[in-house]
Structure 1
């Protein structure tokens, strides 16, 4: 195995040779990545695109978190027993993982960049890399949400990545990062406006996304506000961590529903999404109780303003009545729009009226 501290020598032939960055093949691959943005094929096509620019023998995609173990999402030309060795024995000493946990940033990172002499490095470099036939590694880190990132890794079985390989990686990284960000945007957009029947626009409601280790990946403002006001929410989530998709649990006057992500869902592979929703009600109920439930996601000030809006008062009249500026009223109204997933005052009032059973 090559020592990362030794000077780079003439590169040896690799299993996959780089194509010219002005060739029809390169542009065809770029177009394919753009075409599959938002689909479950995206990251596989992204690593294929990176590999087309750089001589390499194998590749990995690993999701790193600063608070949870690494998650291997995809490999190519890597033996299954090597993946198992990594996941079960060596992921904790992965120097790239340590780099990300220590506040690493997106970009191109070489194996020598993350070298940290000590027992962990020796286990990874002298033991795992020997088992896996890895001579050199080139990593690309793409940020996601919260504490997570995607690590895209190309490997050499013999020799080292050349200076030209590294230069190409840094040249194409901004484009790959741009594709990656567009992909994340598409995923969140799909959560807001889902195509399938199993997820009903949850992102507009109070929503929490956890990875498969139970670590928070994303929570919108409405969820954080609801969690602050309803301590029972934490107990409901704890119960749903082992429940099947579609199950619900009561959280005070509200209901939490869980959906389970596939292992290839990039934001939280194998993770879960919890959505707070109003419970099913009897046809007749206490109007005051129904109104309290409908307004439970709002702050006292937001409730005060909303009730005045529902009484037909204008922004100016409300500002004068509450001794606030019009700008403050407008900002408060925008926060209520975000919490309810609406875009206008009329839609906000309609949302509340429907929540209490009025038509």
Structure 2
């Protein structure tokens, strides 16, 4: 299963489909073929592994399939994986994670009905971690939201005069672009779009564009100018004139956005945090002290320490002189954001001048 998980991780993190890996073992336990899903419209992992076995002259009849996600039972761009395993004569199937997608689930039952031995939950924790954004989106009906912040040690995103380039260093900025290249969409507020004129592209170290460019989303009613960089090379542009965060997130989910990266300024960050709509924080912190200037987050309505929005540290990485802290919201996957969702573009209370910093380059 660990090999199957490693294979799955080779597939694209973005896109509507999950990353899945499959390993075929002969009756003696030797690996005879493997496969992984390479993206929408390509063969699923099970079909890829079966094809690899046949291409190498191996009859898959009687083999054991080790799969990271329950084989699907529906007809999409490709046929049901459960049927492919049945027709191939596979004898045993081990699964890490059950498929929560109501459209695709039922593969394990179909396999059992055909007389195939099926076990589920093998390295389930590792499988859940690999599929975290996709599973969250399928289970909740809204994208997995990652909020990116880039601040000084004292929590500032810009100096008193509004300047912010560069708080963080080149390694942190390069890392942020690799994250952009792995998500489905990047969002900013319309105020940020107008003030900073960001391009919101995923760029390589030499300034070129990654092959995958995420959907560029602007939240708010102010129009994006015709000559804005958001209309230039990069991913498609979508403007959502929604002031209801929950409605905006559900609209993105309907467009099959599984993972949303938010890079807007303090207004949007504050609204998302106040609505308990942030699943993961990427906080790039530079060893810089400004003492004044715009803060990363505005008033969250917290009046006592017991009301603080708390996250659990998942990982810490040094990037040159800077540090990236990855933290996750401490709530169950199925929990919905608070009912008192604030308007996405409500102006938070701030001290100092408004920030011109939208994390365009971090």
TM-score (norm 2): 0.29
Could you say which structure has the larger radius of gyration?
1
Relative contact order, higher structure (CA 8 A, sep 6+):
2
TM-score (norm 1): 0.29
- Pick the structure with more helix per residue: 1
